[in-house]
Amino acid sequence: MIPTLEWLPEGVSFLDQTKLPLEETYVLATDYIQVATVIRDMIVRGAPAIGVSAAMGVALGIDRSTAASLPELTKEVAAICDHLAATRPTAVNLFWGIGEIRDLYNRLAASNTRIAEIKSAVVARARQMYDEDIAACKQMGQFGAELMPEKGTVLTHCNAGALATCGYGSALGVIRAAVERGYQIDVFADETRPFLQGARLTAWELMKDNIPTTVLCDNMSAHLMKQGRIQAVIVGADRIAANGDTANKIGTYGVSILAKEHGIPFYVAAPWSTIDRATAHGDEIPIEQRSAREVTHSNGKQMTPNGVSIENPAFDVTPFKYITAIITERGILRAPFAESIRQMAEDKVLATA
């Protein structure tokens, strides 16, 4: 399994996803500012991977701090967290990852723990989150595999695979788990304009696993659905509101409507950390606007007239009514999602009390 990101003695190493599929190169971030750049520039991407990257960024900042006192270090930690939080606003996992390390730091600092011990503890927690993410993806895969066709074609949009997580994947993890069970599945991968995560990344990693994959232009799925060539759709998520409304890569909303029209199940696979119960519904989810250059240029070549206006939202929101089920590492959520999300949260609290 090629590591999407990896904690090393020198810093955090990231597979440069902007260079895939033609180059497998790595970027080493030696401080939290460089981690923030890696997240902002989409060298690492995908909500679960962003969350763990952010956690490692905070841990790296604390570990490399030269602060001689807790008050001085506490001030630095606030600045580190603010800097990382400003990178990409839609993926709630970003704030979850930051919060995990910040909250651990605050607990330790409140008890006057030695700085050296705090550094060891936050690094250990960030590395533990890496392992937990892979375990969560594999558990999602086991739950979700039961929903996949034993023989047929599954459509996916963007990349919710090993590259979007610390390994194995969310949506693609479900597909992997189904294939491991012996299901005869092939995949249609939407190219996913303008950043081409499907064409570049999903196709690349599925081909490495010898899972049959065909790349589609984003405007082809309706035609293929009408022909009966797609048996299920599965995507990832960057934020799931308390009512089940789901933000994912731009274009997902349209695919969900097409799937509903053609009677095709539409599944979302995401770790529990992607569910934001503080966000009541999809209208409250902030939508990241990205650089116009992602639209105006392709492989460095300008494709649009000089001076034309560009709109480039990175995400859209799929209303819960178009979602058949949400697959998490805790189990499968079904409508009414507000109730099933609340119940799953309460069950976890009771189980750990």
CA 262 to CA 265: how far, in whole Å? 9
* H or E element at residue 142: helix 115-145
Gyration radius (Cα) of the chain, Å: 20
Residue 88's contacts (CB-CB under 8 Å, 6 or more residues apart) are 39, 40, 50, 94, 288
pLDDT for position 3: 83
pLDDT tens readout for residues 311-320: 999 999 999 9
For the question of whether the overall pTM of this predicted structure is more than 0.85, the answer is yes
Is residue 112 classed exposed, middle or buried when 0-12, 13-18 and 19+ CB atoms within 10 A define those classes?
exposed
User: Which amino acid is residue 111, in one-letter code?
Assistant: S
The pLDDT tens digits of the residues spanning 158-189 come to 999 999 999 999 999 999 999 999 999 999 99
User: Average of pLDDT values for 84-107?
Assistant: 96
Per the annotation, the verdict on 238 as an active-site residue is: yes
Quote the longest CA-to-CA distance of the chain.
67
Instruction: Quick: pLDDT tens for 14-67.
Output: 999 999 999 999 999 999 999 999 999 999 999 999 999 999 999 999 999 999
Beta bridge partners of 289: 313
Choosing from 190, 218, 238, 316, which is the catalytic residue?
238
User: 350 pLDDT exceeds 80?
Assistant: no
